[in-house]
Structure 1
């Protein structure tokens, strides 16, 4: 199912925009990919922040008790 697209207005560096057009880069797609990358980065940062206490508790448990089922590893 294709994403619903919405027109928007952006202000971009003129020289960068001119060069991108000269190179045949699809400006809308490039902007969308850049925004998607930033969204993914921010989601990951927030997930790590929101779960920091649980991750620290798990890491502490591993330090104190070792990796579960470690005796069954073949490597």
Structure 2
């Protein structure tokens, strides 16, 4: 899991569109904070995108197992027996 909390700040150089930078400053925006927050969100988005790609086969294998066998313990549930356990109903199997 990604954790960015309480990490020290590090000075860096960025090349930004001068008009965008000027407008941001005129609006009173904290450019460093804004860039830091947006960059953290993008890093997290890409991290999970890559994680999903790396784990695609395992996720699909798990989903296939649930489709075939249902969720463990579903037969012991006292609610929603006809839905949500991942297995196709007998009616659906006959139609296939």
Fold shared by both chains (TM-score > 0.5)? yes
CA–CA distance in 1 between the matches of 2:62 and 2:17?
Answer: 46
More helix by share: 1
SS at match of 2:40: helix
For residues 24 and 10 of structure 1, what CA distance do their matches in structure 2 show? 19
- Which is greater in Rg? 2
TM-score (norm 2): 0.71
Q: CA RMSD in A?
A: 1.5
Please give the alpha-carbon distance, in whole angstroms, between the structure 1 residues aligned to 2:78 and 2:50: 33
Aligned length in residues: 75
Structure 1 length-normalised TM: 0.89
Question: Which structure carries more relative contact order (alpha carbon 8 Å, separation 6+)?
Answer: 2
Match of 1:27 in 2: 31
